[in-house]
Amino acid sequence: MKIAVLPGDGIGQEIVKEAVRVMEAFRSEGYPIEFEFASIGGKAFDEAGDPLPDSTLKLARDAQAILLGAVGGVQYDSLPRPKRPEQGLLRLRKELALFANLRPALLYPELVSASTLKPEIVANLDIMIVRELTGDIYFGQPRGIRVNPAGEREGFNTMVYSEPEVRRVAHTAFKIAMKRKCKLCSVDKMNVLETTELWRETMIEVSKEYPEVSLTHMYVDNAAMQLVRNPKQFDVIVTGNMFGDILSDEASMLTGSIGMLPSASLDAQGKGLYEPIHGSAPDIAGKNIANPLATILSLAMMMRYTFAEERLAGRIEHAVRQVLGKGLRTSDIFESGATLVSTSQMGDAVVAAL
């Protein structure tokens, strides 16, 4: 297992360190895990004048999987756009053709009070959102702001999906559904958008190759409503880039704890970039108080989706549950009666539970 480790900026350095300890624990058991570090984001800009230096890109290309912390910081916000930390990450996703973004929304029973929704609505919630990441209206051409014949300024974008683009993300989603409860809900707006009419037709066509999976369809406005009304009806959701952007943020907030949620971005061969959904949290960086669990759970996703090591994925997830069950909490998920721990103490506890 060849892994590139890119801690990035802010708390990225602290949280990735704890996930690396989990990798080391597996390695000491004899698992063939190799990893190498490189800089990305603001740190890479400081060192090499580029948020994605060639050496980092090469390391990422040569690896089978990438573990990333987070990028960004206020000191970089005034840089020209191509030099900003976020551009390094966007370029990395593009260069590696990572078109399927997997965002689980999973609520551990121990953290049910972190959600703003009623416990009976969200307890044991376990949804996976598969968002197409490289197409749709965010990338479609033509786009711009122009003056129309009436002399008024108007903005325009193009929502476009080719059949192969839909087909490849459909295959990813069906395969994931096969590893879960075999229920896939495709979200579109085919009553008004032709792009999503093609999306739906393609989903139905691909579904013939996965007879075990039950495929349903939902309009995006209804899906946004159902996610807060009765989120447990969903197992896997697949949708386009823009709808997925919105729905995955909505779904993550059902769990209430940004420091707990991992993500993966995959290519067609299962190579992946694994990272927590949160950012570099400059407000708490360097204080050893950030929650490392989203990053450690990103490693669990890596074991499952890139390396098909379901047992190692399960062991990490089980260790996290055990630690939460013992009442250990970093400050972001702290509640009265729990034991407050630092980033490194949380890492200690997970490694011990493994």
249 belongs to the catalytic site: yes
User: In the annotation, is 31 catalytic?
Assistant: no
Catalytic residue (choose from 17, 83, 138, 175):
138
> Does the annotation mark 138 as catalytic?
yes
The burial class, CB within 10 Å (0-12 / 13-18 / 19+), for 321 is middle
Q: Does 126 contact ligand NAD by CB under 6 A?
A: no
Could you tell me how many residues of this chain bind ligand NAD (CB under 6 A)? 22
Residues 158, 139: Cα–Cα separation, whole Å: 8
**Which of these is catalytic: 189, 210, 274, 332?**
189
Q: Which is nearer to ligand NAD, 11 or 67 (CB)?
A: 11
Query: 106 — phi, psi (to 5°)?
Result: -125, 130
Out of 94, 221, 287, 326, pick the active-site residue.
221
Nearer to ligand NAD, 303 or 333 (CB): 333
Question: Measured between alpha carbons, how far is 354 from 346 in angstroms, rounded to an integer?
Answer: 12
Regarding 86 and contact with ligand NAD (CB under 6 A), the answer is yes
The stretch near ligand NAD (CB under 6 A) out of 67-75, 140-148, 195-203, 205-213 is 67-75
Cross-strand pairs, 272: 65, 266
Find out whether 15 and 343 touch, Cβ atoms under 8 Å.
Answer: yes
Map the footprint of ligand NAD across residues 6-25, applying CB under 6 A.
11, 15
Is the CB of 51 or the CB of 218 nearer to ligand NAD? 51
Query: Which among 280, 256, 270 has a CA at the least distance from the CA of 301?
Result: 270
Question: What is the radius of gyration, based on Cα positions, of the chain?
Answer: 20
What is d(CA 22, CA 105) in angstroms, rounded to the nearest whole number?
22
Phi and psi angles of residue 325, each rounded to the nearest 5 degrees, phi first: -60, -30
Listing DSSP states for 182-213 in one string gives: SEEEEEE-TTT-HHHHHHHHHHHHHHTT-TTS
| Cβ-based nearer residue to ligand NAD, 50 or 235 | 50
Q: Which of residues 232-291 bind ligand NAD (CB under 6 A)?
A: 258-259, 275, 278-284, 290-291
Q: How many CB atoms lie within 10 A of CB 338?
A: 15
Find the binder of ligand NAD among 7, 51, 73, 231 (CB under 6 A). Answer: 73
Among the listed residues 25, 71, 129, 303, the single contact to ligand NAD using CB under 6 A: 71
The number of beta carbons lying within 10 Å of the beta carbon of residue 56 is 23
Provide the mask over 19-58, with x wherever binding to ligand NAD is found by CB under 6 A and - wherever it is not. ----------------------------------------
72, 88, 240, 347: which one binds ligand NAD (CB under 6 A): 72
> Restricting to residues 307-326, which ones interact with ligand NAD according to CB under 6 A?
none
| Nearest distance in Å: CB 102, ligand NAD | 14
Contact between 349 and 333 under an 8 Å Cβ cutoff? The reply is: no
Catalytic residues: 138, 189, 221, 245, 249
Q: Which residues of this chain interact with ligand NAD, rule CB under 6 A?
A: 11, 15, 70-73, 86, 89, 258-259, 275, 278-284, 290-291, 294, 332
